[in-house]
Amino acid sequence: MRFVLLSVMSLWAVVAVGCGGGKPAETGGAKSDVKEPATLEEQMALGEKAYGAACASCHGASGEGKAKAPALVGPKGFDDYKTAKDAFDYIKGNMPSDKPTSLSDAEYWAITAYLAKKNNYPVDKKLDAGNAAGIKRP
């Protein structure tokens, strides 16, 4: 039960950060409040939520792209990255473009896993610094 409560609170933190809009969001330490996912399933769930909160406004709800920003899913979206590690490095270093590095590593890994999977990279276990360089573009 405690775990469920914490997860819900973490998700709210993610949503709060993502919805900062024009005003600087008071994150209240949201970065460190995000619980490290234990399994690939949890990581995918976190990735989907965090993507929705921090990326979808520019890249579209399913990564289809919008006027403001290119597609992230499909033939052109993700093919600059040879490995999931390259994708993580780019995303962590540059995105969200209005607030780079504003998310926690757990969120960046989760978003990378979520997008890599959508682009058919062979993500079959929780993505992290130890395995990402071995997960290659299909």
Which positions lie near ligand HEC, rule CB under 6 A? Answer: 54-55, 57-59, 68-70, 72, 77, 80, 90-91, 95-98, 111
Q: Would you give the DSSP letter of residue 99?
A: S
Give the residue with the Cβ less far from ligand HEC, 5 or 67.
Answer: 67
Q: At closest approach, how far in Å is the CB of 55 from ligand HEC?
A: 3
Contact 85, 127 (CB under 8 A): no
Q: At closest approach, how far in Å is the CB of 28 from ligand HEC?
A: 19
Q: At closest approach, how far in Å is the CB of 3 from ligand HEC?
A: 25
Give the residue with the Cβ less far from ligand HEC, 57 or 62.
Answer: 57
Kindly list the distances between the CA atom of residue 76 and the CA atoms of 69, 72, 81, 98, 125, in Å, as whole numbers in the listed order. Answer: 13, 7, 11, 22, 25
Q: At closest approach, how far in Å is the CB of 53 from ligand HEC?
A: 9
Give the residue with the Cβ less far from ligand HEC, 50 or 126.
Answer: 50
Cα(40)–Cα(30) distance, integer angstroms: 22
Cα(128)–Cα(84) distance, integer angstroms: 9
